[in-house]
Structure 1
Amino acid sequence: MRGLLKKIKIPILTLVLIGLIFPYFCINVNAADNDDIVLVATIFTQGKGQDAVNVNLEWVVPDSTSSIRLYRTASENEDGVLIYEGANRSYQDYDLDVGTWYYYLEVDTTSGTCRSETVQVETMELPQGLYYYDNLTGQTIEPDTTNQNNSSIIHQSQPIVGLESESNVEYSYRIVREGESALRVDEYVRVDGGEFEYSRTVIQPSDHEDLLDCKLEAINTVYVEHINKIVIWAHWEKRHGYAHGKAFMFTGTPGGDDFIVKIFNPLDYQVRDMHFYIDDDAEKTGYLIAASNKPGEPANHTIRIFKMNSDYTDIVEVTNELFYGMHREAPNLIKHDGIYYLFTSESAGWYPSDGRYASSKAIDGQFTELRTIGNTSTFSCQSGYIIKIGPEGNMSYVMNAHRWIRGEGTPGQYRLPVLLSDGYAFYDFWIGYYYNPQSGLLIPVQDGKLLSLNKPAVASIPGADGLEASKANDGDYYSRYLATKSEWPYWWQVDLEDYYNLSNIQLSWYMVKGSEGYYKYKVQTSLDKVNWTTILDNTDDSDTTVSNTYGFNVNKLEGIGRYVRIIVEDAVLHNNPVNWYTPNLYEVKIFGNTSSYREALRELYDQVKEWEKSYYTDDSWDAFAAAKASAENILSRPASEDECKAVLDALAEAVRGLEQSDDAPVSVNKLEGTATIVNTLPELPEKVSVKTKGGDTVDIPVKWPTLTE
Structure 2
Amino acid sequence: MIKGKSWMAIVIALMLLTVHLTSSAQTVHAAAGEETKIAATLFVLKNESEVSNAKIHWAPVQGATAYELYRSENNAPYTLLQTLTGTTTDDYELNIGNTYKYQVKAYAGTSLLTSAVSPECTPYSLPEDLTTFDNTTQSTLKLPNELKVGDTYYRFNFVQKPTGGFGEMIQQTSTDDITYGDDKVVLSYTDHPDLANSKFEGINILYHAPTNKFVFWAHYENSTDYTLARVSVASATPGEDFTFHKSFRPEGNQSRDISIFKDDDDSAYLISTANNNSDTILYKLTSDWLDVDHQVSVIYQNQHRELPKMIKKDDIYYLFSSQAAGWYPSIPLYSSATTIDGDWSELRTIGNTSTFSAQSGSVMRVKPDTGNNVVMVAYRWMFGWAGTQNGTTEERLLPVWFSDGYAFYDYFDQVLYHTSDDVVVPVQNGKLLSQGKPATAQTATGTNPASYANDGNYQTEWVGTGSSWPHWWKVDLGSVQQLNNVQISWWMQKGSEGFYKYKIETSTDNVNWTVALDRTNNTSYGFTSDNLSNTAARYVRINMQNAALHNNPNNWYTPRLWEVKVFGSGTN
SS of equivalent residue, structure 1 residue 99: coil
State the match for 2:78 in structure 1: 80
**Alignment RMSD, CA only?**
2.4
Q: Does 1:206 align with 2:190?
A: yes
State the match for 2:10 in structure 1: none
Task: Output the amino acid matched with 1:535.
Answer: A
The structure 1 residue matched to 2:267, chosen from 285, 309, 320, is 285
Please state how far the C-alpha of 1:425 moved relative to its aligned partner: 0.8
Q: 1:48/1:183 Cα in 2 relative to 1: closer, same or farther (>3 Å)?
A: farther
State the match for 2:174 in structure 1: 190
Q: Does 1:460 align with 2:442?
A: yes
Q: 1:437/1:492 Cα in 2 relative to 1: closer, same or farther (>3 Å)?
A: same
Task: Output the amino acid matched with 2:267.
Answer: T
Please state how far the C-alpha of 1:422 moved relative to its aligned partner: 1.2
Please state how far the C-alpha of 1:87 moved relative to its aligned partner: 2.6
The structure 2 residue matched to 1:382, chosen from 352, 359, 370, is 359
State the match for 2:483 in structure 1: 502
Structure with more of its chain in strand, by fraction: 2
The structure 1 residue matched to 2:306, chosen from 306, 312, 329, is 329
State the match for 1:317 in structure 2: 294
Please state how far the C-alpha of 1:66 moved relative to its aligned partner: 4.7
Q: 1:411/1:127 Cα in 2 relative to 1: closer, same or farther (>3 Å)?
A: farther
Identity %: 38
In the alignment, the residues of structure 1 paired with residue 188 and residue 516 of structure 2 have an alpha-carbon distance, to the nearest angstrom, of: 56
SS of equivalent residue, structure 1 residue 304: strand
The structure 2 residue matched to 1:571, chosen from 547, 551, 556, is 547
State the match for 2:417 in structure 1: 435
Q: Does 1:265 align with 2:244?
A: no
In the alignment, the residues of structure 2 paired with residue 51 and residue 486 of structure 1 have an alpha-carbon distance, to the nearest angstrom, of: 46
In the alignment, the residues of structure 1 paired with residue 551 and residue 178 of structure 2 have an alpha-carbon distance, to the nearest angstrom, of: 52
Task: Output the amino acid matched with 1:420.
Answer: F
In the alignment, the residues of structure 2 paired with residue 566 and residue 184 of structure 1 have an alpha-carbon distance, to the nearest angstrom, of: 51
In the alignment, the residues of structure 1 paired with residue 368 and residue 198 of structure 2 have an alpha-carbon distance, to the nearest angstrom, of: 37
Task: Output the amino acid matched with 2:69.
Answer: L
Please state how far the C-alpha of 1:537 moved relative to its aligned partner: 1.2
Q: 1:43/1:174 Cα in 2 relative to 1: closer, same or farther (>3 Å)?
A: same
State the match for 1:248 in structure 2: 232
Please state how far the C-alpha of 1:257 moved relative to its aligned partner: 5.1
Q: 1:306/1:350 Cα in 2 relative to 1: closer, same or farther (>3 Å)?
A: same
SS of equivalent residue, structure 1 residue 366: coil
Q: 1:217/1:49 Cα in 2 relative to 1: closer, same or farther (>3 Å)?
A: farther
Q: Does 1:586 align with 2:562?
A: yes
SS of equivalent residue, structure 1 residue 100: coil
In the alignment, the residues of structure 2 paired with residue 411 and residue 433 of structure 1 have an alpha-carbon distance, to the nearest angstrom, of: 19
Please state how far the C-alpha of 1:174 moved relative to its aligned partner: 2.4
- After superposition, what is the alpha-carbon deviation per residue over 1:201-220, rounded to whole angstroms, capped at 9, x for unaligned? 11121012343333322122
Q: 1:267/1:524 Cα in 2 relative to 1: closer, same or farther (>3 Å)?
A: same
The structure 2 residue matched to 1:175, chosen from 148, 158, 161, is 158
The structure 1 residue matched to 2:335, chosen from 355, 358, 362, is 358
Q: Indicate if the aligned counterparts of 1:391 and 1:440 stay in contact, CA closer than 8 A.
A: no
In the alignment, the residues of structure 1 paired with residue 394 and residue 65 of structure 2 have an alpha-carbon distance, to the nearest angstrom, of: 41
The structure 2 residue matched to 1:158, chosen from 145, 152, 177, is 145
Q: 1:521/1:392 Cα in 2 relative to 1: closer, same or farther (>3 Å)?
A: same
State the match for 2:5 in structure 1: none
Task: Output the amino acid matched with 2:447.
Answer: G
SS of equivalent residue, structure 2 residue 215: strand
State the match for 2:284 in structure 1: 307
State the match for 2:17 in structure 1: none
Q: Indicate if the aligned counterparts of 1:68 and 1:105 stay in contact, CA closer than 8 A.
A: no
More divergent stretch after superposition (83-92 vs 576-585) = 83-92
- After superposition, what is the alpha-carbon deviation per residue over 1:533-580, rounded to whole angstroms, capped at 9, x for unaligned? 11211113xxxxx23x11111222222211111110111111111111
Task: Output the amino acid matched with 1:160.
Answer: L
- After superposition, what is the alpha-carbon deviation per residue over 1:174-203, rounded to whole angstroms, capped at 9, x for unaligned? 222343423211222334777322242111
Q: Does 1:131 align with 2:106?
A: no
In the alignment, the residues of structure 1 paired with residue 146 and residue 141 of structure 2 have an alpha-carbon distance, to the nearest angstrom, of: 20
Q: 1:48/1:205 Cα in 2 relative to 1: closer, same or farther (>3 Å)?
A: farther
State the match for 2:452 in structure 1: 471
Structure 2 residue runs without a partner (length 5+): 1-32
Q: Indicate if the aligned counterparts of 1:72 and 1:101 stay in contact, CA closer than 8 A.
A: no
More divergent stretch after superposition (314-323 vs 562-571) = 314-323
Please state how far the C-alpha of 1:453 moved relative to its aligned partner: 0.6
TM normalised by structure 2 equals: 0.87
Q: Indicate if the aligned counterparts of 2:203 and 2:218 stay in contact, CA closer than 8 A.
A: yes
In the alignment, the residues of structure 2 paired with residue 304 and residue 390 of structure 1 have an alpha-carbon distance, to the nearest angstrom, of: 28
Task: Output the amino acid matched with 2:62.
Answer: D
Q: Does 1:401 align with 2:383?
A: no
TM normalised by structure 1 equals: 0.71
Q: 1:348/1:433 Cα in 2 relative to 1: closer, same or farther (>3 Å)?
A: same
Please state how far the C-alpha of 1:115 moved relative to its aligned partner: 5.5
In the alignment, the residues of structure 1 paired with residue 487 and residue 60 of structure 2 have an alpha-carbon distance, to the nearest angstrom, of: 26
Query: Whose RCO is larger (CA < 8 A, sep 6+)?
Result: 2
In the alignment, the residues of structure 1 paired with residue 177 and residue 350 of structure 2 have an alpha-carbon distance, to the nearest angstrom, of: 41
Q: 1:43/1:106 Cα in 2 relative to 1: closer, same or farther (>3 Å)?
A: closer
Alignment of 1:292-691 (within 5 A): 292-293=274-275, 299-390=276-367, 394-405=371-382, 407=388, 408=390, 412-461=394-443, 463-540=444-521, 546-547=522-523, 549-558=524-533, 559-594=535-570
In the alignment, the residues of structure 1 paired with residue 227 and residue 114 of structure 2 have an alpha-carbon distance, to the nearest angstrom, of: 53
Q: 1:535/1:411 Cα in 2 relative to 1: closer, same or farther (>3 Å)?
A: farther
Please state how far the C-alpha of 1:490 moved relative to its aligned partner: 0.5
- After superposition, what is the alpha-carbon deviation per residue over 1:346-394, rounded to whole angstroms, capped at 9, x for unaligned? 1111111111011112222221111111111111111111021126564
In the alignment, the residues of structure 1 paired with residue 118 and residue 218 of structure 2 have an alpha-carbon distance, to the nearest angstrom, of: 44
Please state how far the C-alpha of 1:473 moved relative to its aligned partner: 0.6
Q: Indicate if the aligned counterparts of 1:135 and 1:411 stay in contact, CA closer than 8 A.
A: no
In the alignment, the residues of structure 2 paired with residue 501 and residue 141 of structure 1 have an alpha-carbon distance, to the nearest angstrom, of: 32
More divergent stretch after superposition (220-229 vs 576-585) = 220-229
Q: Indicate if the aligned counterparts of 1:67 and 1:108 stay in contact, CA closer than 8 A.
A: yes
Structure 1 residue runs without a partner (length 5+): 1-33, 146-156, 294-298, 541-545, 596-709
Answer with 1 or 2: which has the greater Rg: 1
Q: Indicate if the aligned counterparts of 2:187 and 2:242 stay in contact, CA closer than 8 A.
A: no
More divergent stretch after superposition (187-196 vs 327-336) = 187-196
Q: 1:495/1:60 Cα in 2 relative to 1: closer, same or farther (>3 Å)?
A: same
Q: Indicate if the aligned counterparts of 1:320 and 1:363 stay in contact, CA closer than 8 A.
A: no
Task: Output the amino acid matched with 1:126.
Answer: L
In the alignment, the residues of structure 1 paired with residue 175 and residue 542 of structure 2 have an alpha-carbon distance, to the nearest angstrom, of: 58
- After superposition, what is the alpha-carbon deviation per residue over 1:201-245, rounded to whole angstroms, capped at 9, x for unaligned? 111210123433333221222222333221221122233332222
SS of equivalent residue, structure 2 residue 125: coil
SS of equivalent residue, structure 1 residue 572: strand
SS of equivalent residue, structure 2 residue 495: coil
In the alignment, the residues of structure 2 paired with residue 374 and residue 350 of structure 1 have an alpha-carbon distance, to the nearest angstrom, of: 19
Q: Does 1:105 align with 2:86?
A: no
Q: 1:58/1:205 Cα in 2 relative to 1: closer, same or farther (>3 Å)?
A: same
State the match for 2:9 in structure 1: none
In the alignment, the residues of structure 2 paired with residue 87 and residue 333 of structure 1 have an alpha-carbon distance, to the nearest angstrom, of: 31
Q: Indicate if the aligned counterparts of 1:184 and 1:211 stay in contact, CA closer than 8 A.
A: no
Q: Indicate if the aligned counterparts of 1:100 and 1:123 stay in contact, CA closer than 8 A.
A: yes
